[in-house]
């Protein structure tokens, strides 16, 4: 170890020294917005249609039509999944972004729990139904489905890698 490494031992790096955390903070702020915009609609039982008076219901209909039949006509269990996204993950994204920016190490365990949950629930259960499930819920447009949904699985997996060791803000990645 050189003298610079010894003097930095135990010190969180500045945000400028952790560009990956800037990336994550921006992405999770976007996720906070999109979870509220999209997942609250089916959770609250708002009907999605092209002629809905609700702009968000129309926007979600545009996405889901010919892409995501599980989302447009969600069974009860899927409304639980979207409810978690809208009302649990959404606020967590704001907290996570704040902790990433400030370099607060206590967020590590909640981040690992979140990343594991969403990767499992979305990546295995929802993607499994969309790609291998019964015909009424299988996506007819896998490319569009993946374009919109894959970031919600891949980014948490990258976060899981980021949070793999203690004191994540004392290293660049």
C-alpha angle 163-82-40 in degrees, rounded to nearest 5: 115
Q: Give 3-state DSSP helix, strand, coil % of the chain, rounded to 5.
A: 75, 0, 25
H or E, element range at 87 = none
Is residue 88 within 8 A of residue 35, CB to CB? The reply is: no
Counting every residue, how long is the chain? Answer: 173
Q: By three-state DSSP, how is residue 51 classified?
A: coil
Average confidence (pLDDT) over 119-131: 95
pTM for this model (two decimals)? 0.90
What is the residue extent of each domain of the chain?
A: 17-170
Distance CA 22, CA 163 (A): 15
Q: Reply yes or no on whether the pLDDT at 147 is more than 70.
A: yes
Calculate helix-pair angle for 151-162, 108-120, nearest 10 degrees. Answer: 150
Distance CA 166, CA 169 (A): 9
pLDDT tens-digit series, residues 74-113: 999 999 999 999 999 999 999 999 999 999 999 999 999 9
């Amino acid at each position: 170890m050189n003298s610079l490494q010894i003097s930095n031992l135990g010190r969180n790096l500045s945000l400028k020294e952790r560009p990956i955390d800037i990336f994550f903070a921006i992405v999770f702020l976007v996720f906070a917005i999109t979870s509220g915009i999209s997942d609250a609609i089916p959770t609250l039982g708002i009907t999605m249609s092209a002629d809905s008076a609700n702009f968000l219901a129309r926007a979600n209909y545009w996405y889901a039509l010919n892409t995501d039949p599980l989302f447009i006509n969600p069974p009860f269990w899927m409304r639980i999944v979207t409810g978690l996204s809208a009302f649990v993950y959404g606020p967590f994204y704001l907290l996570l972004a704040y902790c990433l920016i400030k370099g607060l190490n206590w967020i590590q365990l909640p981040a690992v729990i979140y990343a594991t949950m969403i990767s499992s629930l979305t990546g295995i259960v929802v993607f499994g139904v969309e790609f291998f499930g019964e015909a009424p819920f299988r996506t007819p447009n896998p490319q569009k489905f993946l374009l919109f949904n894959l970031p919600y699985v891949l980014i948490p997996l990258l976060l899981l890698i980021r949070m793999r060791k203690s004191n994540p803000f004392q290293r660049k990645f």
